[in-house]
Amino acid sequence: MRDGETQTEHSNIWLESDEQTDRRLRRLLTDPVCQQTVGRMLKILPNLDMAMQNRCPGNNR
Which pLDDT band, with edges at 50, 70 and 90, does 1 fall under? very low
CA-to-CA distance for 24 and 51, rounded, in angstroms? 31
Mean pLDDT of the chain: 74
**pLDDT at position 42:** 83
State pLDDT tens for residues 31-56: 888 888 888 888 888 887 788 778 76
- Percent of the chain clearing pLDDT 90 (strictly above): 0
Mean pLDDT along residues 4-30: 73
CA angle 25, 5, 3 (to 5 degrees): 170
